Amino acid sequence: MDSTSPRLSFERVSKRYLWRRERARTFLEIFTGLVKRREPVREFWALRDLSLEVRPGEAVGLIGPNGAGKSTALKLASRVIEPTSGNVRVSGKVSGLLELAAGFHPDLTGRENVFLSGALMGLSRREMQALYDSIIAFAGISDFVDTPVKHYSSGMAMRLGFAIAASVNPDLLLIDEVLAVGDHAFTQRCIDRVLSLRDQGTAVLLVSHDLQAVRSLCDRALLLEHGQTVEAGRPEDVVNSYLQRLAMGEPSSGMADRHGQEERWGSGEIRLEEVWLEDASGARVSGIATGSSFAVAVRYTARQRLERPVFGLAIKDRSGYLLSGPNTLFDGLALGSVSGEGILRYRVGASPLQEGHYFLSLSVYDERLLHAYDHWEYCYSFDVYPGSGARCLGALSLQGEWVHEADPGEAA
């Protein structure tokens, strides 16, 4: 096998799905369907003319919104499905983790599933026996290897699946979102393992919403939208373009996308009706640039006159870590009494937030901060894309200044 030839090649690959609007569910529906006018068949193109190559020792990342065709591309690469048109060429041993516990039999134990997975990848029992101890050690489930997988948590199943996929020394490794699941320590071990495989010559195709993982792991990235490639190139450039597209798109509806973690409580005398972001000109936006000025605007309704309520907001990162939590009491804004409808704005002169995805929580309490009139967790999400602010690691750009004072003796 030519060590420089692509391990994976897509040549103008398209994938189409066909379905009808309604399907018969009962015998009567099937019978009456024979005489009723049939609904026309609808088609959906999950991918359109996708071309890419992944060579030995190279990692390519696929990013984009949900429904962009990323997972479809991985399924085509793993030969789970076949393309409608175009050619998919794969060479060498392929290993992949397309979803949690993919290929596991729920009634078999972890030990039995290790050997079953090996057999499905074409490895002998002797070969899997040689890898068994390292797989279990990497997964960290030694106390549960003889427990049926149906009793595993999603994290345990994910760790075992990744350990198997990454331990068979594949020529091509396919990964779908697995790096976004699990604790930080295990995620870092996964990243280290993928980097090690890449350095040994394994080709890697990664799908992830974790844009930092794409930056860290990949040599190239493709941005997909509606099944088509809209940008390809250096991961940094493609990720920045994606963040800008998100931020410059239609304003958010005000509902967060943090996996159903939105919560709300309070007595309701004041209700937070709507929240949005504004740029320096006062226009509504769904994202901001690092270093730019912006405002968080909140529309509220006070159903009765209330004295000295305290409005507050919280900005959190993807992990839920609180980055900032200002409120009107701490900032010295005395509202007096409020009634009826009003709009309150919190203005920021220069955003310290680094590029990424963030969440807003809002609240309004009594002046003692003991009684919640309305507390709305994860009510809004927004993106920050690269701007004029200084680049640095972490969530915040302090925009400070380095000053170097050399030792006079050394300078001489």
pLDDT tens digits for 60-78? 999 988 888 998 999 999 8
Domain assignment of residue 405, yes or no: no
Listed residues 221, 247, 273: the one ending a domain: 247
Report whether pLDDT(254) > 50: no
Q: How far apart are CA 309 and CA 338, in angstroms?
A: 8
Distance separating alpha carbons of residues 280 and 63, to the nearest angstrom: 30
CATH of residue 368's domain is 2.70.50.60
Residues 12 and 105 in one domain: yes
User: What is the token pair recorded at 97?
Assistant: 């983790």
> Final residue of a domain: which of 222, 247, 272?
247
28 plus 90 within the same structural domain: yes
Residue of higher predicted confidence among 387 and 270: 270
In this structure, the strands spanning 59-63 and 220-225 are: parallel
Amino acid sitting at position 139: A
Q: Are residues 214 and 108 in the same domain?
A: yes
**CA–CA separation, 162 vs 179, rounded Å?**
9
CA 102 to chain centre: 19
Cβ atoms of 21 and 42 within 8 Å: the answer is yes
Return d(Cα 393, Cα 185) in angstroms, integer.
Answer: 19
Per the domain annotation, does 118 fall within a domain? yes
> What mean pLDDT do residues 275-295 have?
91
Q: How far is it, in rounded angstroms, from Cα 174 to Cα 155?
A: 19
Predicted confidence (pLDDT) per residue in 136-166, tens digit: 998 888 899 999 999 988 778 888 888 888 8
**How many angstroms separate the CA atoms of 380 and 376, rounded?**
9
Mean pLDDT across the chain: 83
Q: What is the largest CA-CA distance in the chain?
A: 98
Do 94 and 207 belong together in one domain? yes
Cα angle value 262/226/83 (rounded, 5°) = 120
More confident residue, 9 or 177: 9
Residue 239 and residue 211 in contact, taking contact as beta carbons nearer than 8 Å: yes
In a domain, 3, yes or no: no
Q: What is the DSSP letter of 287?
A: E
Average pLDDT over residues 352-359: 87
**pLDDT tens across 101-135, in order?**
556 888 999 999 999 988 888 888 999 999 999 99
Q: Is residue 392 part of a domain?
A: no
Neighbours of 119 (CB within 10 A): 12
69 plus 204 within the same structural domain: yes
- Residue 213 and residue 347 in one domain: no
Residues 75 and 220 in one domain: yes
- 3-class DSSP state for residue 283? coil
pLDDT bracket for residue 275 (50, 70, 90) = very high
Q: Is the pLDDT of residue 257 over 50?
A: no
User: Residue 337 sits in which domain range?
Assistant: 263-385
| Residues 230 and 373 reside in one and the same domain | no
Of 63, 97, 62, 74, the residue nearest 15 (C-alpha):
74
The three-state secondary structure class of 145 is: coil
Give the pLDDT confidence score for residue 258 in this predicted structure: 46
| 219 secondary structure, DSSP code | S
Pair 29, 111 in one domain: yes
Quote the pLDDT of residue 34.
54
Inter-residue contact 272 to 254 (CB < 8 Å): no
Q: Give one DSSP letter per residue of 376-405, joined into a string.
A: EEEEEEEEEE--SSPP-SSSB---------
State the amino acid at position 122 in one-letter form: G
Asked if residue 23 belongs to a domain, the reply is yes
- Helix 110-120 / helix 125-139 crossing angle, nearest 10 deg: 130
Residues 241, 274, single domain; the answer is: no
237 and 313 share a domain? no
> 133 is written with which tokens?
């101890």
Give the integer Cα–Cα distance in Å for 61 and 371: 47
CATH of the domain at 179: 3.40.50.300
Strand segments, DSSP code E, in 129-269 are: 172-176, 203-207, 220-225, 228-233, 263-265
Nearest of 348, 384, 63 to residue 247 by alpha carbon: 384
Q: How far apart are the first and last CA of the chain?
A: 60
The predicted structure's pLDDT at residue 233:
92
Mean pLDDT of the region 343-369: 91
Number of domains in the chain: 2
Decide if 255 is inside a domain. Answer: no
Same domain, 225 and 337: no
Is 136 inside a domain boundary?
Answer: yes
Look at residue 335 and tell me if it is in a domain: yes
Quick one: tokens of 222? Answer: 């493709």
Among residues 247, 274, 299, the one where a domain terminates is 247
pLDDT on residue 251: 40
What local confidence, expressed as pLDDT, does residue 100 receive?
53
pLDDT bin (cut points 50, 70, 90) of residue 32 is low
Mean pLDDT (whole number) for 51-56 = 94
| Type of residue numbered 380 | Y
